[in-house]
Amino acid sequence: MIDPSFPTGPVAAAKRDLFLVSLLFLFMELAFIRWFPAQVLFLTFFTNTVLLASFLGLSLGCLAARSRRNYLSSTPVLLVISIIAAAAVPVTAWISYRAQGPLLPGFLTLLGLLVIVRHKSNIQRLINGTESRFQKKNKIQDEAPS
């Protein structure tokens, strides 16, 4: 039997959902702040970076939830952008820090090359046009008996 003093209806459901999502976000934020620095050593020096990144990521996720856009289809474009960024970091480091010695620019050059080498198979699939495509399945195909 439902208690008559317990609120029901769409407003109560919206309040409950908001509370549950807020609780989940708080848990995720605390997990990010505690877990990432424990796994990635240099993040222990930049604790606010993890906090800001979790706020930004969770906020952008909430904003993106309203749209019906499939963000997985833009994966090849994001791959190309990440490779360009990996190639730009060493160039920028050599321009900016060459007066301080070759250690930092050399390290960043090796790091950029590592990213590009690790993406070599993805780059080859992009060039060949065989990169996996993420598409929504039709409900009719999913419900069809086998």
Residue 5 confidence (pLDDT): 62
What confidence category does residue 143 fall into, taking pLDDT thresholds of 50, 70 and 90? low
Residue 144 confidence (pLDDT): 54
Q: Residue 19's CB: how many other CB atoms inside 10 A?
A: 10
pTM: 0.41
Q: Are 39 and 21 within 8 A, CB to CB?
A: no
Residue 11 confidence (pLDDT): 83
